[in-house]
Structure 1
Amino acid sequence: MTITRATPAHAATVGRLLHDFNVEFDSPTPTAEEFAARFTRLLEWEDQLVLLAGDPADPEGFAYLTTRSSPYYDGPLMQLEELYVRPRLRDRGIGTELVLGMLRRARERHCGEIHVNVDEVDVDTRRFYERHGFTNTEPGEDSRMLLYLREL
Structure 2
Amino acid sequence: TEFDCATPSAAEAATRFERLLEREDVLAVIAGLPRGRGAGTDVGFAFLTLRPTPYWDGPLAQLEDLYVRPDLRAAGIGTGVLHRSVSEARRRGCEEILINVDSDDLGARRFYERHGFSDHDPDTGSGMRCYLRQL
1:115 paired residue among 93, 98, 104: 98
In 2, the alpha carbon distance for the partners of 1:106 and 1:29 equals: 27
Give the TM-score, by structure 1 length: 0.81
Counterpart position of 1:47: 25
Partner SS, residue 104 of structure 2: coil
1:37 is aligned to 15
- Residue 142 of structure 1 and its aligned partner are, at CA, apart by 3.7
Higher RCO (CA < 8 A, seq sep 6+): 1
Alpha-carbon distance in structure 2 between the residues aligned to 1:121 and 1:141: 25
Instruction: Give the Cα separation in 2 of the matches to 1:147 and 1:104.
Output: 25
Q: Which residue identity is paired with 1:59?
A: D
Percentage of pairs with the same residue: 55
Number of residue-to-residue matches in the alignment: 130
| Residues 62-120 of structure 1, C-alpha deviations (whole Å, 9 max, x = no match) | 00110000110110000000000001101000000011011110111010210001011
Separation in 2, partners of 1:117, 1:89: 23
| Counterpart-to-counterpart distance in 1, 2:132 and 2:72 | 31
Map 1:84-103; keep pairs closer than 5 Å: 84-103=67-86
1:2-151 alignment, distance < 5 Å = 23-55=1-33, 58-151=41-134
Question: Which residue of 2 is the match for residue 7 of structure 1?
Answer: none
Give the deviation of 1:57 after TM superposition: 5.4
Instruction: Extract unaligned runs of 5+ from structure 1.
Output: 1-22
1:74, 1:112 within 8 Å by CA — same for their partners in 2?
A: no
Which consecutive unaligned segments of at least 5 residues does structure 2 have?
34-38
Q: Are the aligned partners of 1:61 and 1:84 in contact in 2 as well (CA < 8 Å)? A: yes
More helix by share: 1
The 10-residue stretch of structure 1 (49-58 or 118-127) with the greater mean CA deviation from structure 2: 49-58
